[in-house]
A and B are shown apart, each in its own frame.
Chain A
Amino acid sequence: MSTADVTSSTNDQKYEIAHLKLVPKRHIGRMIAAAIVLLILAAIVRAFSVGQIEWSYVRDFLFAPAILDGLKSTLIMTVAAMGLGIILGVVIAIMRVSGNPVLSSIAIGYVWIFRGAPALLQLMIWFNLALIFPTMGIPGLFEFRTVDIMTPFVAAMLGLGISQGAYTSEVVRSGLLSVDSGQYEAARAIGMTQFKMLRRIVLPQAMRVMVPPIGNEVIGMVKLTSLASVIQYSEILHNAQIIYFANTRVLELLLVACFWYLVVVTLLSIGQYYIERYFGRGSKSITASM
């Protein structure tokens, strides 16, 4: 046998493995990590089940009228504060991008102050405003005692809504900036006024960029309303607290409140998906799935 023959026969064997089964690499590290995490999770679940939690209290109070009333107040406050936040956000953002130096400086100052101070502190300032302004109004026209109008609801709505407006204005501004300058020009070229251009062309396109972060902020706001419990607004956490002050079942009632927050946030997340899909119409990612 010549050397050439030897080489060719070993070569033939070498290439005869194409039919063999391909076995993926074993990820030992991943399996160990997963096992550890599952173990920890199991330990936590066990701790809660053997801990001194009276689950019957959780069940009984889940649909208690005081809790459901609190839930309703939480939702009302979310809508009111977020509504105020969005209105202020749009106004402040437009002031910021307007060419007017006074308006844009005021917008910058607004964001600086109300994004800078903690929301809880802002709530307390609104609630205690009567201490420095016993009465409010326009002299000679009308006047109120501050304690009469600055109810927990009003103070919470102002505190949460105004600080939210500072955040939302940045979202709106980034939405406005995301619209191509060619869109502004095309809108002007068909004879649109500034207002019509914003309403018909710019905002609908900006919405696509704005909806995901605003959805996030709405979800954040649902939870932020719990701060209003501090100023006696009877939202769900406040009502849960009142109940556990009476029956001392602290953790049970906190879990009840936690359950409802999760329900609301889940529903909002689903709603956000559909809103995003609506404003994404015409964009590439949507058309690909059509």
Chain B
Amino acid sequence: MTKDIIVKAVDVTKLYGPFTALDKVSLEIAKGEVCCIIGPSGSGKSTFLRCINQLEKMNSGAIWVNDELVGYRREGNNLHEINDADMARQRRRVGMVFQRFNLFPHMTALENVMEGPVQVLKEPVAEVRKRAEDILARVGLSDKISHYPSQLSGGQQQRVAIARAMCMRPDLILFDEPTSALDPELVSEVLDVMKDLAASGMTMIVVTHELGFARNVANTVAFMEAGKMVEIGPASEVLTSPKSPRTAEFIKAVHS
């Protein structure tokens, strides 16, 4: 495994009772790469994303982030689940942006962004405050830093959530349908921030229905359906001349 592979997933399988949510999904993401995962609802895109930082436990398969096995430790021929503290330590390297923002409602925008670096990474408060203010300015929210989430629009909340992930200075940020819960006119302000982030070299995996964003920003596009990775390749190829007929059908349906 080469040095600049950030995420490597091999045969990730997830079952919910008799239902197979993920069926041997594999993926490799290089440093600085932006990968969009597209596909119909219930295809397992979000579940796969959540396996990468172990918000979801897989039934079999393995995922490495930065060459470190995620969530398990090998002992002989078994993989043992790691303890709470080690799991927390691994998650510090991976940012996550949720569909429903999940900002902490009892904290201001600035406090939300500072919470991780101060409480988890134990960095000095003054230093973190400076960085958090810079990042909030970068996502265009300098004038909202002391607002509570309930005082912000959906688009603003999602930009705070992205700032919260950025302030941890992760190796990788996962986006779980970041614009799906937004009013249509607020989608572009969030996509612009993500575009800017991609341009700065952040490694990103984005589960999305925004094919325009995928076309303009992503290096790689993966199409999933019924828990399987149907097709994965360079964005231009997958979106314009897909190999699989199912991918072509999906793209056509989304565009019409």
Stretch at the interface among A35-43, A159-167, A192-200, A228-236: A192-200
Q: Please give, as numbers and ranges, the residues of chain B lying within 8 Å of A284 by CB-CB distance.
A: 150
By the criterion of a CB under 8 Å from any partner CB, how many residues of chain B are at the interface? 33
The residues in B between 150 and 176 inclusive whose CB is less than 8 angstroms from any CB of A are: 150-151, 164-165, 168
Report B91-130 CB contacts with A as 1/0, cut-off 8 Å.
1101110101011111110000001100111000000000
Q: Please give, as numbers and ranges, the residues of chain A lying within 8 Å of B55 by CB-CB distance.
A: 185, 188-189
Q: Please give, as numbers and ranges, the residues of chain A lying within 8 Å of B90 by CB-CB distance.
A: 191
A189 close to B105 (CB less than 8 A): no
Interface centre among B85, B102, B116 (most CB of A within 10 A): B102
CA distance A185 to B88 in the complex (A): 12
A190 close to B164 (CB less than 8 A): yes
A189 close to B100 (CB less than 8 A): no
Whether A205 sits at the interface, judged by CB under 8 Å, is yes
Whether A283 sits at the interface, judged by CB under 8 Å, is yes
CA distance A182 to B181 in the complex (A): 14
B104 close to A193 (CB less than 8 A): no
Assuming the A-B contacts A183-B102, A205-B105, are A193 and B150 also in contact, with contact meaning beta carbons closer than 8 angstroms in the complex? Answer: no
Contact of B120 among A182, A196, A281, A283 (CB under 8 A): A196
A282 close to B105 (CB less than 8 A): yes
Q: How far is the CB of A279 from chain B (nearest CB, A)?
A: 8
A287 close to B120 (CB less than 8 A): no
Closest residue of chain B to A290 (Cβ to Cβ) is B151
Closest residue of chain A to B86 (Cβ to Cβ) is A193
Report A103-118 CB contacts with B as 1/0, cut-off 8 Å.
0000000000000000
Closest residue of chain B to A279 (Cβ to Cβ) is B106
Q: Please give, as numbers and ranges, the residues of chain B lying within 8 Å of A287 by CB-CB distance.
A: 148, 150-151
CA distance A283 to B148 in the complex (A): 8
Whether B227 sits at the interface, judged by CB under 8 Å, is no
Q: How far is the CB of A110 from chain B (nearest CB, A)?
A: 26
A191 close to B104 (CB less than 8 A): no
A282 close to B150 (CB less than 8 A): yes
B84 close to A283 (CB less than 8 A): no
Whether A215 sits at the interface, judged by CB under 8 Å, is no
Q: Please give, as numbers and ranges, the residues of chain A lying within 8 Å of B95 by CB-CB distance.
A: 189-190
A186 close to B103 (CB less than 8 A): yes
Q: Please give, as numbers and ranges, the residues of chain B lying within 8 Å of A120 by CB-CB distance.
A: none
Q: How far is the CB of B84 from chain A (nearest CB, A)?
A: 5
Report A8-20 CB contacts with B as 1/0, cut-off 8 Å.
0000000000000
Whether A83 sits at the interface, judged by CB under 8 Å, is no
Q: Please give, as numbers and ranges, the residues of chain B lying within 8 Å of A208 by CB-CB distance.
A: 106
A193 close to B88 (CB less than 8 A): yes
Q: Please give, as numbers and ranges, the residues of chain A lying within 8 Å of B88 by CB-CB distance.
A: 188, 191-193, 196
The residues in B between 131 and 158 inclusive whose CB is less than 8 angstroms from any CB of A are: 148-151
Contact of A189 among B84, B96, B150 (CB under 8 A): B96
Closest residue of chain B to A189 (Cβ to Cβ) is B96
A186 close to B89 (CB less than 8 A): no
Contact of A201 among B98, B104, B121, B165 (CB under 8 A): B104
Q: What are the 7 A-B residue pairs with the smallest beta carbon separation, nearest first?
A: A191-B92, A190-B116, A186-B102, A189-B96, A182-B102, A282-B148, A191-B91
A residues apposed to B, CB below 8 Å: 180, 182-183, 185-194, 196, 200-201, 204-205, 208, 279, 281-284, 287
Of the A-B pairs whose beta carbons lie under 8 Å apart in the complex, a sample of 14, sorted by A's number, is A185-B102, A186-B96, A189-B55, A189-B98, A190-B164, A191-B116, A191-B120, A192-B116, A281-B148, A282-B106, A282-B108, A282-B148, A287-B150, A287-B151
